Amino acid sequence: MHPVRILATVKPGKEEKVKRDILDALYPFDPQVNVQFTGFGGVLIIETKLKPKRLIGLLSWRRIRHLYRLIPLKIMVSIENVDSKTLSAALNDISEGEATAVIVKKRGIPSPKAYEIVDKIIGLLKTRNIHLTNRRKASKIVFIEFMGEILGVGVLDERTFKFIKEHVSNSHNVDR
């Protein structure tokens, strides 16, 4: 089984503490859990054999301070290896006609390259007749996360997104 990758956003400067707390919370359930620094403040990658909903449930029960958001990534690839087949696979959970929001976070990538990839993803959504809307009206949310030369794409349903916001996030800000 391939490890599941979860992007975790945390308070910048608190990455080491949050990493220890995540490892403490998950180790009894997955002794091979790994938390990596991305080189970008406030962003960690969790690699685990746990299913995303189980991980989210465990971390919501644990209430880790300075942890803002968790995004299960469908893909995590070099921007040089991004192709339509890989992007399509990441978007498989979205049904035709489904109301979908797209949230983009760029870290350490030139805007033209990022826009090119975002345009490709939007194009794939439109060819599948997926209705693009704002986050509050969406039943699914596509997260496009750029971390330098790495692209992560995740898809969350609105219910899971709200659960993370209410039970995992220790921030009162809406879109952290």
What is the rounded average pLDDT of the residues 7-16? Answer: 96
| Bridging pattern class, strands 99-107 and 131-132 | parallel
pLDDT at position 100, please?
A: 96
pLDDT at position 2, please?
A: 75
Most confident of 38-52, 59-73, 110-124: 38-52
The answer to whether 47 touches 36, Cβ cutoff 8 Å, is yes
pLDDT digits (tens, 9 = 90+) for 128-165: 899 999 999 999 999 999 999 999 999 999 999 988 88
Q: What percent of the chain has pLDDT over 90?
A: 78
The answer to whether 7 touches 145, Cβ cutoff 8 Å, is yes
Q: 154 pairs with which residues across the strands?
A: 143
pLDDT at position 174, please?
A: 39
Report d(CA 116, CA 11) in Å as an integer: 29
Report d(CA 60, CA 165) in Å as an integer: 10
Map out the domains of the chain as residue ranges.
Answer: 4-73+159-168, 75-157
Q: Count CA atoms within 13 Å of residue 153 on its CB side.
A: 26
Classify domain 4-73+159-168 by CATH number: 3.30.70.1650
pLDDT digits (tens, 9 = 90+) for 31-54: 999 999 999 999 999 999 999 999
Task: Report which secondary-structure segment, H or E, holds 125.
Answer: helix 111-127
Reported pTM = 0.89
Neighbour-count burial for 15-32, b at 16+ CB within 10 Å, e otherwise: beebbebbeebbeeebee
Q: Which two tokens stand for residue 59?
A: 């971390």
What is the rounded average pLDDT of the residues 75-102? Answer: 93
Reported as a pLDDT band with limits 50, 70 and 90, residue 176 is very low
CATH 3.30.2300.10 for domain 75-157: yes
**Bigger pLDDT: 34 vs 175:** 34
pLDDT at position 170, please?
A: 62
State the Cα torsion 8-13-14-19 to the nearest 10°.
60
